[in-house]
Amino acid sequence: MTHPSSTPTSPETPAPEPYEKRWLALGVIAMTVLLVILDATIVNIALPAVSADLGVSAASQQWIVTAYTLTFGGFLLLGGRIADYWGRKRTYLVGAAGFAVASGLGGLAQNEAMLFGARALQGVFGALLAPASLALLTVLFTDPKERAKAFGVYGAIAGGGSAVGLLLGGVLTEYADWRWCFWVNLPVALLAIALAIPFVPESKAPGDTKYDIPGAVLITLGLAAIVYGFTRVAEASQTNAAEAAQANGAAAAQGGQLVTPDSGWTDGLAWVFIVGGLVLVALFVLLEIRTRNPLLPMRIVLDRNRGGAYLTSTLVGAGLIGAFFFLSLYFQQVLGYEPVVAGAASLPTTLGVFVSAGAASVLVPRVGPKPLMVLGGLLAAAGLFTLSFVGIDTGFWALPFPGQLLLGLGLGFTFVPLSNLALVGAGEHDAGAASAMLNATQQVGASIGTAVLASLSVGAISAYTADALTSGADPRDPAVGLAAQVEGYTTAFTWAAALLVLGAVVAGLLIKATKEDLPTGDAVVHVG
């Protein structure tokens, strides 16, 4: 049963009028949302410099990224409920302050243990900050046109922030020091805190606010295990391929037998974590059905429209993160771009997102979320499919530019209605949990997508190399290695495009919400 309820716009009591400083609050929230999005990619380009400076081994290097993704993905649902119950503004402030402190520690790191610890802390506080930010937008903007504009800003950041992170990471690494990839967060977070205190209102979930501690433990461990398991698959695939390439080079030069690398999916420990994580998630679901105060009420997920939005989010996350990862490698390792140039070469995606996010914020209240999500998925898939035709000497303007522009246009049309739809009807009590679920699906999708695409890419590289050497190619010819790499990247782009097409199909089949289902006036729809 649904009924309209007025939106709370002050710290304590509901008021019929929208909060007058909501647009200033949006600007403040947008700054910290960008911090969390940037941090997923800003360190990537700096990895070689970080590893060389701190003596991080090749085997341990992945923890610079994994330490962040594990804690961020694992604590998201708990972070969303803390925001609902403890207060969204309070959680936002603590998340921003903690993120700033962790970033400062990362920049001061003197060894790999200190750096990994700082990255893990960034993930924990990011898991507070991200759902609190999105939940605040939900309760601040209730008019459909205003909410669409607010989510247009969020969608632009979510879709384009990763590319901006690559550029900023390249600039800071090349012209300053890798430590500034962490320290750059400090002034932004401190400014956001100073502005949030006067401009962002407090809001809390009404009704029962008891914490589901057993559920929090189960889902935190479950999500972290799943993310880590798939991360191990991706790493094993790349390690096995590198070892096989080295062995095949020596074998071809000496007339020996070529070897085929083992699949990353043969890593037994990875499967232990993946299966164990799935079991914990299943136990979590059973617990949530039976408990009186669930961490994640099943009504949030089982609603057809929100469920469709979360599944679409998982597929988009899987395709998007993999695309950025392989595109960055293509620019640097094949085309030979310097880090800062590689970052700048990723900006067409951001340009496309900004254009389409603005258009989507106008169109969502007029046509509803479904048509834009289907169109966005197909446009983004077309962009990735365009990138699947790149070669060793492809000019930037020939394929990478139009491919990325299409990808960005598609992501903007996808993220704006997706963010809106995932929260519509969740009710003020569950705004933090619903927004955390959206972030969690993107994070889990990204880890799965990276593992799957890395495995497919490695398989294509190995097959191409073996065929070339069997045909008599000179193993010392760098063109052979480059051509094999391109084969791997284009294979990844093709499959990433398929994931986004699947996301568009899911949106088309599952989502039934129309523009009439969006909130009207100053009402929020509560489900209960």
Give the distance from CA 363 to its chain's centroid.
24
The number of residues in the chain equals: 528
**Paired sense of beta strands 2-6 and 523-527, if any:** antiparallel
Instruction: To the nearest 10°, report the CA torsion of 482, 483, 487, 493.
Output: 60
Handedness of CA 387, 318, 262, 44 (dihedral sign): positive
| Alpha carbon distance 351, 345 (integer Å) | 11
For the chain, helix (H) and strand (E) counts, in that order, are 18, 2
Whether 298 and 285 have beta carbons less than 8 Å apart is answered as yes
Please classify residue 476 by burial: count the beta carbons closer than 10 Å to its beta carbon, then call 0-12 exposed, 13-18 middle and 19+ buried: exposed
Q: If DSSP codes are grouped into helix, strand and coil, which group holds residue 388?
A: coil
Residue whose token pair is 């900050």: 129
Task: List the pLDDT tens digit at each of the 528 positions of the chain.
Answer: 333 333 444 444 444 477 888 999 999 999 888 888 888 778 877 777 888 899 887 667 778 888 888 889 889 999 999 999 999 999 999 999 999 999 999 999 999 999 999 999 999 999 999 999 988 988 888 888 888 888 888 888 877 777 788 788 888 888 888 899 999 999 999 999 999 999 999 988 887 778 888 999 999 899 889 988 888 888 887 777 767 667 766 666 666 665 666 778 888 999 999 999 999 999 999 999 988 888 888 888 888 888 999 999 999 988 887 777 788 889 888 898 887 888 889 889 989 999 999 999 999 888 989 999 999 999 999 999 999 999 999 999 999 999 999 999 999 999 889 888 877 777 777 888 888 898 889 888 888 888 888 888 888 888 888 788 778 777 667 787 788 889 989 999 999 999 999 999 999 999 988 877 665 433 333 322
| Alpha carbon distance 406, 383 (integer Å) | 5
Each residue of 429-477: pLDDT tens digit? 788 888 889 888 988 888 888 888 888 888 888 888 878 877 877 766 7
Please classify residue 298 by burial: count the beta carbons closer than 10 Å to its beta carbon, then call 0-12 exposed, 13-18 middle and 19+ buried: exposed
390's tokens:
């790149």
pLDDT at 4: 38
Beta bridge partners, 14, equal 8
Q: Which residues contact residue 518 at a Cβ distance below 8 angstroms, ignoring those fewer than 6 apart?
A: 144, 147, 364, 365, 368, 369, 420, 424
Whether 192 and 28 have beta carbons less than 8 Å apart is answered as yes
pLDDT at 518: 65
pTM of the model: 0.84
| Alpha carbon distance 262, 31 (integer Å) | 44
Q: Which residues contact residue 489 at a Cβ distance below 8 angstroms, ignoring those fewer than 6 apart?
A: 326, 327, 329, 330, 334, 390, 457
Each residue of 63-105: pLDDT tens digit? 888 888 888 988 999 999 999 999 999 999 999 999 999 999 9
pLDDT at 337: 87
| Alpha carbon distance 316, 287 (integer Å) | 29
Whether 499 and 450 have beta carbons less than 8 Å apart is answered as no
pLDDT at 2: 37
207's tokens:
């009704």
Alpha helices (runs of H) in 109-184, residue ranges in sequence order: 112-140, 144-175, 180-183
pLDDT at 9: 40
